[in-house]
Amino acid sequence: MASRADGFYSEAKDKWDIALGVNATAKDKYTYVWSGIEKGANYNNNYASHGKGSFNVNPIDGLSGFYIGKDNFVQCVLSAV
């Protein structure tokens, strides 16, 4: 099994999983999970994979915290419309 977990309370529970960040759990095969959390936030809230082969990200501020290049996802969508 070649899985990897790095961060604070992160776990890779199945085969070929990657879990990174804070309270990230990769519980399904072939998944990637990354979770960010604000300083002082509730560390009991776990973010986990959503099915076999899924790519899961949980940035602070949702879509506004997900960046493509220099712009966040919301800015990318608005500039494309």
Q: How much is the pLDDT for 35?
A: 94
Q: How much is the pLDDT for 24?
A: 94
The one-letter code for the residue type at 38 is E
Among the listed residues 38, 41, 11, the one whose alpha carbon sits nearest the alpha carbon of residue 23:
11
**Every domain of the chain and the residues it spans:** 4-80
Q: How much is the pLDDT for 37?
A: 78
10-residue mean pLDDT series, the chain (81 residues): 90 95 94 85 83 95 93 96 91
Cα–Cα distance between 80 and 4 in angstroms, integer? 36
pTM of the complete model: 0.84
